[in-house]
Amino acid sequence: MRIAVIGYLESGEVELTDYLEKKYFCSTLYLDEVFKDVEDRVDVKKEMIDKFMKKNISWVIEGTYENILFNERMKVADKIVIMKLNRFACLLKYINKQHAKGEKIDKQKAKDIIWHKRKKEYRKVLNSTMRRYSDKVVLIFNNAQIFMFRDII
C-alpha cells in the first residue's frame, strides 16, 4: 500500500504516519526531514523522493511540499489522507505536546499553526487534490475520524 499524508500544520500527520508504518511494516518518508537535510537543493530533493518511491513497494510519505513531485506522489499513491483539522484543534495538539515534553510554547509556532498553510493558495492545493483524486482521498476533520481511519484501513 502507498499512502500520502498531507494536511495542516500540527494536524497529526506525523502521528498517523508513525501508526501506519508500524501497522503495515512499510517504509516512511517525512518530507520535513528530507528538506531540512538538503536545504535549497531542489534537484537533490526530487531525486531522493523519486528514488524512495521507486525503491519501496509499500510506503507512507508525510508532507505536502506541492512544488516537489507533488502530482507524481499523488498519482502513484493508493490512498491520499488529507488532514483538515480545525486550526484551534491543531493549536491545542501543539500545546498539549509541548506540555507533555515540559517545553515552552513557541509564540511564533502558535501563530504559524493558526495561519501557516491556511492561506487561500494552500487551501486550493488541498481542494484541487480532493477533486482530482476523489476516488482515493480520505478526508479527516477531527480526532475521532483519525481513530476511525486507523481502525478501518
Task: Beginning with the edge strand found earlier in the chain, give each strand of the sheet holding 27-30 in spatial order.
Answer: 27-30, 59-62, 2-7, 79-83, 137-140
Q: Pairing between strand 27-30 and 79-83?
A: unpaired
Does the pLDDT value for residue 95 go beyond 90? Answer: yes
Read off the C-alpha cell for 57. 513497494
Q: Which residue has the higher pLDDT, 153 or 22?
A: 22
User: Which pLDDT belongs to residue 38?
Assistant: 67
Dihedral pair phi/psi, residue 35, rounded to 5°: -75, -30
Domains of the chain: 2-152 (3.40.50.300)
Model confidence band, residue 153 (pLDDT cutoffs 50, 70, 90) = confident
- Write the pLDDT tens digit of every residue in 76-87: 999 999 999 999
Q: Pairing between strand 2-7 and 79-83?
A: parallel
User: How much is the pLDDT for 59?
Assistant: 97
Q: Give the contacts of 37 (CB within 8 A, at least 6 positions apart).
A: none
pLDDT per residue as tens digits for the range 27-78 = 999 999 888 876 677 888 899 999 999 999 999 999 999 989 999 999 999 9
What's this model's pTM, rounded to 2 decimal places?
0.92
Contact between 4 and 80 (Cβ < 8 Å)? yes
- Region of poorest pLDDT, from 86-95, 130-139, 142-151: 142-151
Mean per-residue pLDDT of the chain: 93
